[in-house]
């Protein structure tokens, strides 16, 4: 397995001949993006790999389509050339309805449902949507649908998606057998909503990984946007106080550099 961190939540996954891309964000920095209900963010860093240099994309794993820090304009344009787009059910309807993706190439999943990526000459990959709560209790009507993705029948890799730590997420972590965990961090906050968080803090990630016990932890979604309230330092500090096996599992990917996260 090789992972390339493009920036923000965007990760290129190369495994078994497959090339999978998560949450495509390729716009240049400097623009402010509105997320609704008075919230917004400025993109502060561009992609480590331009969209034109990503190469073949067999499938896009899109945790949600309606926030610019998970799908920006250049990322949306890339969807047209990707093989399959897997996302939320509501997102699949929006993407197909807008013409961004041919309806036959987009798959909508609810948490707990599964699809299979298959192609001649490659082992099939089972993709299961996992639950996300992208904010405080009862916020779904405001923040919209979000899912994470577990890859492989035993979840060889788990992308948490944008979520706070909540009971359903911990329950899933207790059932999965994960080699590589990709938590979306950042401890997202907005001035208009005060102390409310919309993604995991570093402390949340440690708690989740204590249940999950993966062989490698690869944080994403912690830099490149002004609404990310916690960066790499916060995660390093929290994991430094974690059990030894989690400290040893933490992997920081150099932006743009393909890396095998299971090789220390």
Average pLDDT, stretch 119-129? 95
Provide the pLDDT for residue 125: 96
In a domain, 262, yes or no: no
Rounded to the nearest 5°, which phi and psi values hold at 143? -90, -15
Check pLDDT > 80 for residue 261.
yes
User: In CATH, what number is assigned to the domain containing residue 203?
Assistant: 3.60.15.10
> What is the band of 150 on the pLDDT scale with cuts at 50, 70, 90?
very high
Provide the pLDDT for residue 138: 81
Check pLDDT > 70 for residue 154.
no
In a domain, 109, yes or no: yes
In a domain, 157, yes or no: yes
Average pLDDT, stretch 128-153? 91
Name the percent of the chain lying above pLDDT 90: 91
Domain hosting residue 13, numbered range = 2-249
Check pLDDT > 70 for residue 81.
yes
In a domain, 261, yes or no: no
In a domain, 204, yes or no: yes
In a domain, 207, yes or no: yes
Per-residue pLDDT tens for 215-226? 999 999 999 999
Mean pLDDT score of the chain: 95
Q: Give me the number of domains the chain comprises.
A: 1
In a domain, 180, yes or no: yes
Q: Determine whether 127 is exposed, middle or buried from the number of CB atoms within 10 Å of its CB (0-12, 13-18, 19+).
A: buried
Give this prediction's pTM.
Answer: 0.96
The 10 Å CB-count burial string (b at 16+, else e) for 52-89 is eebeebbbbbbbbbbbbbbbbebbbebbeebebbbbbe
Per-residue pLDDT tens for 225-248? 999 999 999 999 999 999 999 999
């Amino acid at each position: 397995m090789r992972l390339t961190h493009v920036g923000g939540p965007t990760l290129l996954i190369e495994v078994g001949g497959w090339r999978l891309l998560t949450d495509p964000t390729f716009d240049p920095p400097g623009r402010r993006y509105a997320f609704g209900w008075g919230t917004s963010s400025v993109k502060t860093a561009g992609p480590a790999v331009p969209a034109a240099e990503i190469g073949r994309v067999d499938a896009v794993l899109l945790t949600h389509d309606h926030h610019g820090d998970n799908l920006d304009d250049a990322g949306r344009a890339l969807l047209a050339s990707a093989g399959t787009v897997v996302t939320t059910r509501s997102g699949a309807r929006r993407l197909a309805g807008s013409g961004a993706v041919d309806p036959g190439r987009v798959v909508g999943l609810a948490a707990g449902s599964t699809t299979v990526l298959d192609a001649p000459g490659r082992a099939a990959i089972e993709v299961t949507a996992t639950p996300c709560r992208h904010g405080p209790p009862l916020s779904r009507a405001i923040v919209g649908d979000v899912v994470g993705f577990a890859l492989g029948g035993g979840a060889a890799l788990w992308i948490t998606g944008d979520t706070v730590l909540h009971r359903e997420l911990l329950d899933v972590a207790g059932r999965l057998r994960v080699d590589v965990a990709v938590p979306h961090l950042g401890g997202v906050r907005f001035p208009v909503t005060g102390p409310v968080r919309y993604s995991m803090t570093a402390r949340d990630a440690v708690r989740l990984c204590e249940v999950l016990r993966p062989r490698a932890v690869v944080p994403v979604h912690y830099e490149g946007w002004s609404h990310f309230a916690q960066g790499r330092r916060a995660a390093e500090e929290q994991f430094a106080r974690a059990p030894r096996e989690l400290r040893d599992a933490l992997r920081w990917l150099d932006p743009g550099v393909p890396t095998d996260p299971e090789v220390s």
